[in-house]
Structures are given as C-alpha cells and as structure tokens.
Amino acid sequence: MRIYKILNNNAVIVRNAQQQEQVVMGCGLGFQKRPGDFLDKACVEKIFSLQEPGLQALLSELLQRIPTEIITASDHVICLARLKLPSLHDRIYLTLVDHFHFAIERRRQGIAISNLMLWDIQQLYPCEYDIGLESLKLIAQELDCQLPIDEAGFIALHLANAQLTGNMQITNQISLLMQEILQIVRLKMHIRLDENTLAFHRFVTHLKFLAQRLLSKQSLPTGDMALQEMVQNCYPQAWNCAMVISKHIEAHKHPKLSDAEIMYLGLHINRLHDRQAK
C-alpha cells in the first residue's frame, strides 16, 4: 500500500482497495517519506477510516453497541453451522450477531418472546433447527445466558434464509408441488380459490406438510377405517379429486400416498369446497 499524503512524521493518508481514504498512524511512519512511497506496515499502530454519512453512520453505531463477546460467540456458532451448511452466505454474521444481541438483552430484562412457528420450523428445517439447539448450548457456555428454546427456531430461520443453495432447492420443490396440487383442485372441483380465506390457508398448510413428507419420504400411518369410509361415501367428488392428486404425485416419481394421506386430503378438499362455495 502506498502513501497518498503525509500529515506529519507519525501520520499519513493512504487509500484502501475501495479507493477510500484512511489515516494510518504509527511512530516514524511519515518520517522522510513522500507521497507514492510504500507504507511500512510494521510501523502501523492505528488505522482510521472515513466516517460514513447519515444512515450508514446509524448502522455502524448500531453495530458498535454490540459487545465483543457476543460477536465472538456468534462467530463460533457460524463456524459450527458451516460444518453442516456449507453454502451459508457471509450475511449470516450480521443477522446472527444482531439476533443474539437482542435475544440476550430481552433475556436479561426478563422478556420472553414465544415463537409461534417453532413447530413448523422444526419440521421444515430440521438441520437448521438442530444447529439452533446447539447454538443455545454454546451461548449458555460462553455468555452464561440460557436462551429459551423458542430462540432455536429463530436461529434456524436465519440460517435457512442465509443459504444460497441446498435448503432453498427443497423449499422451492415443496412450493412447486403445492402449486400443482392447487391447480388440480381448481380444475377438478370447479372452484375459484380465494387466497385470503382461512379455509385456503388451512388447506395450503396441509399441502405444505404433505409435500414435505413426500420429499423426505415420510408417510402418515394408516388412518382409521370409519373416517376413511365416511369421507369416501359422503364426499365422492373430493375423494376423486384426492385420487387424481395421488396419481399425479406418483407419476412425478414421488412416493405413493398412503390411504390415510388420501383420506385427509379428501377431507381437506371437501372442507375447502364447502367454505369457498359459501
């Protein structure tokens, strides 16, 4: 790195890789030097960077409020996470450091925040959730702060959102399969699906977990026969629609749906049909 300007014997200005000015200080750093000369790195004691204006300064200030030990602990969590999630983007540093800072602050003030998505996260992002649990242990050891289990879910979400591949592919596959099933329901049941209804929401929640079970090759155990017969007899149109979906899924090389899955799907389709028709 070359000297750009001499301030005095112990202080010079250089430009970093982004061509931003930096003040570098150290004993004798500027002594008998001229602009263009190389900086003697061994003499550097302090580096000052140009302060950002306005909002950028606010962001820096927010970061500076975070204690070093939280930053260090977050780094350890990220090292651990990278062993299992190799495509983790560097941005996870910002989100996790910020999250731990806030979570620990809340904990120390005795404020608890429930995570209503905890169970969903556990099912949809099992690997990230496990890392979340590990993180809580690590934070407890290093910072002497036992965060509630709800935080494992929040950590898992941050990890899931900071990945560039891997998880994202499964997420998108689930999403695609859900769209295909919705399209079959629209065509077979002759209904317009109103996305803003609770009924629609409950149906897509069911589909989401059905798709997740299919992709992870899980299946619901056999349901009870009484309910199954009732669905088949009382709601033939919904049952047939469920059968069409089942065939579509099989044709796309997914595992075959169990009878229980088809039954619950039929039940859900019928409920959706009733609600949307009203």
**Positions in 79-138 near a second copy (CB under 8 A):** 89-91, 93-95, 97-98, 101-102, 111-114, 116-117, 119-120, 122-124
Ramachandran area for residue 36 (φ above 0: left; ψ -120 to 50: alpha; else beta) = left
258 Cβ contact list (under 8 Å, min separation 6): 219, 220, 221, 222
Taking the CB of residue 206, how many other CB atoms lie within 10 A of it?
19
At 115 the three-state DSSP class reads coil
Q: Could you tell me the smallest distance in angstroms from the CB atom of residue 210 to a second copy?
A: 11
For a second copy, the closer of residues 225 and 247 by Cβ is: 225
Q: Which two tokens stand for residue 1?
A: 């790195």
Give how many residues touch a second copy by CB under 8 A: 77
CA trace torsion 107, 111, 117, 120 (10° rounding): 40
For a second copy, the closer of residues 78 and 247 by Cβ is: 78
Q: Could you tell me the smallest distance in angstroms from the CB atom of residue 245 to a second copy?
A: 19
Q: Could you tell me the smallest distance in angstroms from the CB atom of residue 116 to a second copy?
A: 5
For a second copy, the closer of residues 36 and 54 by Cβ is: 54
Near a second copy in 3-42, by CB under 8 A: 7-8, 11, 18, 21-23
Does position 215 bind a second copy by CB under 8 A?
A: no
Strand 21-25 to 3-8 pairing: unpaired
Q: Could you tell me the smallest distance in angstroms from the CB atom of residue 139 to a second copy?
A: 16
Near a second copy in 219-278, by CB under 8 A: 220-221, 224, 226-227, 230, 234, 274-275, 278
Q: Which two tokens stand for residue 111?
A: 């404020």
Which of 15, 84, 188, 208 touches a second copy by CB under 8 A?
208
DSSP 90: T
* C-beta of residue 131 within 8 angstroms of C-beta of residue 88: no
β partners of residue 5: 13
Rounded to whole angstroms, the Cα distance separating 278 from 272 reads 10
Q: Where are the alpha helices (DSSP H) in 114-149?
A: 118-124, 126-143
For a second copy, the closer of residues 93 and 240 by Cβ is: 93
Q: Could you tell me the smallest distance in angstroms from the CB atom of residue 230 to a second copy?
A: 6
Near a second copy in 154-173, by CB under 8 A: 154, 157, 161-162, 164, 168, 171-172
Rounded to whole angstroms, the Cα distance separating 229 from 86 reads 48
Near a second copy in 43-72, by CB under 8 A: 46-52, 55-56, 58-60, 62-64, 68, 71-72
